[in-house]
Chain A
Amino acid sequence: MSVKRNKPEAPTADNRWKMVDVTMRRNGYSGHALIETLHTVQEVFGYIDDPSMRYVAEALNLPLSKVYGVATFYHLFTLKPKGKHTCVICTGTACYIKGAGELVEGVQQRYHVRPGQTTPDGQLSVVSARCLGACGLAPAAVLDGQVLANQTADGLLGKIEKVLQHES
Chain B
Amino acid sequence: MNLDDLEADASEVRAAGETCEHCVRVCMAAGCQSSGAGKVLERLNEQFSGRDDVRVKSVGCMGLCSGGPLVELRSKGQPAPRLYQKVSAEDVPELAASLGGAPVQRLACSTEMPFFSRQQKIVLENSGVIDPEEIDDYIAADGYRALVTALTEMNQAEVLREIDISGLRGRGGGGYPTGLKWSTVAKMPADQKYVICNADEGDPGAFMDRAVLESDPHRVLEGMAIAAYAVGANKGYVYIRAEYPLAIDRLKTAIRQATRKKLLGSGICETQFSFDVELRLGAGAFVCGEETALMSSVEGERGQPRPRPPYPAESGLWGYPTLINNVETFANVAPIIRRGGEWFAGIGTERSKGTKVFALAGRIQNTGLIEVPMGIKLRDIIETIGGGVPEGRTFKAVQTGGPSGGCLPEQNLDLPVDYDTLRQAGSIMGSGGMIVMDDTSCMVDVARYFMDFCMTESCGKCVPCRVGTYQMHGLLDKIAKGQGTPADLALLEELCEVVQMTSLCGLGQTSPNPVLSTLRYFRHEYENKLQTGQPAADGTEGGKMTDDRK
Q: How large is the interface on B (under 10, 10 to 19, 20 to 34, 35 or more residues)?
A: 35 or more
Give the Cβ gap from A21 to chain B, nearest Cβ, in Å.
17
Once A31-B300, A32-B300 are accepted as A-B contacts, the answer to whether A77 and B243 lie under 8 Å apart by CB is no
Q: Which of A102-110, A129-137, A152-160 lies at the interface with chain B?
A: A129-137
Nearest 9 CB-CB pairs, A to B? A136-B65, A147-B34, A92-B204, A74-B283, A93-B205, A76-B284, A75-B284, A94-B361, A135-B361
B437 in the interface (beta carbon within 8 A): yes
Residues of A within 8 A of B244 (CB): 133
| CB nearest to A133 among chain B residues | B207
Cα–Cα distance between A92 and B202 once the two chains are bound (Å): 10
Contact A137 B301 (CB under 8 A): no
Contact B285 A94 (CB under 8 A): no
Residues of A within 8 A of B283 (CB): 35, 38-39, 74-77
Contact A74 B303 (CB under 8 A): yes
**1/0 per position for B275-315, CB-CB distance to A under 8 A?**
00000111111100000000001111111000000000000
A89 in the interface (beta carbon within 8 A): no
Would you mind naming 22 contact pairs between A and B with Cβ atoms under 8 Å apart?
Answer: A32-B298, A32-B300, A36-B300, A39-B242, A39-B283, A69-B302, A70-B300, A74-B303, A75-B283, A75-B285, A91-B204, A92-B205, A93-B402, A94-B205, A94-B361, A98-B363, A133-B210, A134-B65, A136-B65, A137-B31, A137-B34, A147-B33
B493 in the interface (beta carbon within 8 A): no
Residues of B within 8 A of A147 (CB): 30, 33-34
Give the Cβ gap from A136 to chain B, nearest Cβ, in Å.
3
Contact A131 B363 (CB under 8 A): no
Q: From residue 34 to 65 of chain B, which have CB atoms closer than 8 A to chain A?
A: 34-35, 65
Q: From residue 405 to 459 of chain B, which have CB atoms closer than 8 A to chain A?
A: 433, 435, 437, 441, 446, 449-450, 453, 457, 459
Contact A131 B359 (CB under 8 A): no
A47 in the interface (beta carbon within 8 A): no
Cα–Cα distance between A39 and B457 once the two chains are bound (Å): 20
Residues of B within 8 A of A131 (CB): 202-207, 243
Residues of B within 8 A of A74 (CB): 282-285, 303
Once A70-B301, A73-B285, A129-B243 are accepted as A-B contacts, the answer to whether A136 and B31 lie under 8 Å apart by CB is yes
Once A132-B243, A135-B207 are accepted as A-B contacts, the answer to whether A93 and B302 lie under 8 Å apart by CB is no
B35, B203, B204 pick with most chain A CB within 10 angstroms: B204
Cα–Cα distance between A137 and B201 once the two chains are bound (Å): 18
B362 in the interface (beta carbon within 8 A): yes
Other contacts beyond A133-B207, A136-B65: 16, CB < 8 A: A31-B300, A33-B300, A36-B280, A39-B281, A70-B301, A93-B205, A93-B399, A93-B449, A94-B435, A98-B362, A131-B205, A131-B243, A134-B31, A134-B34, A136-B68, A137-B367
**1/0 per position for A88-131, CB-CB distance to B under 8 A?**
00011110111000000000000000000000000000000111
Give the Cβ gap from B282 to chain A, nearest Cβ, in Å.
8
| CB nearest to A70 among chain B residues | B302
Cα–Cα distance between A133 and B509 once the two chains are bound (Å): 25
Cα–Cα distance between A136 and B303 once the two chains are bound (Å): 29
Contact B204 A136 (CB under 8 A): no
Once A93-B435, A136-B31 are accepted as A-B contacts, the answer to whether A130 and B449 lie under 8 Å apart by CB is no
A57 in the interface (beta carbon within 8 A): no
Residues of B within 8 A of A77 (CB): 283-284
Give the Cβ gap from B3 to chain A, nearest Cβ, in Å.
36
| CB nearest to B201 among chain A residues | A133
Q: From residue 18 to 33 of chain A, which have CB atoms closer than 8 A to chain B?
A: 30-33
B66 in the interface (beta carbon within 8 A): yes
Contact A134 B441 (CB under 8 A): no
B512 in the interface (beta carbon within 8 A): no
B172 in the interface (beta carbon within 8 A): no
B170 in the interface (beta carbon within 8 A): no
Give the Cβ gap from B452 to chain A, nearest Cβ, in Å.
9
**1/0 per position for B178-222, CB-CB distance to A under 8 A?**
000000000000000000000001111111001000000000000
| CB nearest to A90 among chain B residues | B204
Contact A149 B281 (CB under 8 A): no
A138 in the interface (beta carbon within 8 A): yes
Once A130-B453, A135-B359 are accepted as A-B contacts, the answer to whether A93 and B204 lie under 8 Å apart by CB is yes
Residues of A within 8 A of B206 (CB): 131, 133, 135
Cα–Cα distance between A148 and B201 once the two chains are bound (Å): 21
Residues of A within 8 A of B302 (CB): 69-70, 73
Cα–Cα distance between A36 and B239 once the two chains are bound (Å): 12
Residues of B within 8 A of A92 (CB): 204-205
B368 in the interface (beta carbon within 8 A): yes
Residues of B within 8 A of A75 (CB): 283-285
Give the Cβ gap from A78 to chain B, nearest Cβ, in Å.
10
Once A34-B300, A73-B302, A135-B206 are accepted as A-B contacts, the answer to whether A93 and B284 lie under 8 Å apart by CB is no
**1/0 per position for A4-27, CB-CB distance to B under 8 A?**
000000000000000000000000
Contact A94 B362 (CB under 8 A): yes
Cα–Cα distance between A36 and B302 once the two chains are bound (Å): 13
Cα–Cα distance between A124 and B31 once the two chains are bound (Å): 25
Cα–Cα distance between A74 and B304 once the two chains are bound (Å): 11
A30, A36, A38, A94 pick with most chain B CB within 10 angstroms: A94
Residues of B within 8 A of A53 (CB): none
Cα–Cα distance between A148 and B34 once the two chains are bound (Å): 6
Cα–Cα distance between A136 and B446 once the two chains are bound (Å): 19
Give the Cβ gap from B400 to chain A, nearest Cβ, in Å.
11
Cα–Cα distance between A30 and B441 once the two chains are bound (Å): 49
Give the Cβ gap from B62 to chain A, nearest Cβ, in Å.
11
Residues of B within 8 A of A96 (CB): 204, 449
Residues of B within 8 A of A59 (CB): none
Residues of A within 8 A of B450 (CB): 93
Cα–Cα distance between A133 and B211 once the two chains are bound (Å): 9
Cα–Cα distance between A147 and B244 once the two chains are bound (Å): 12
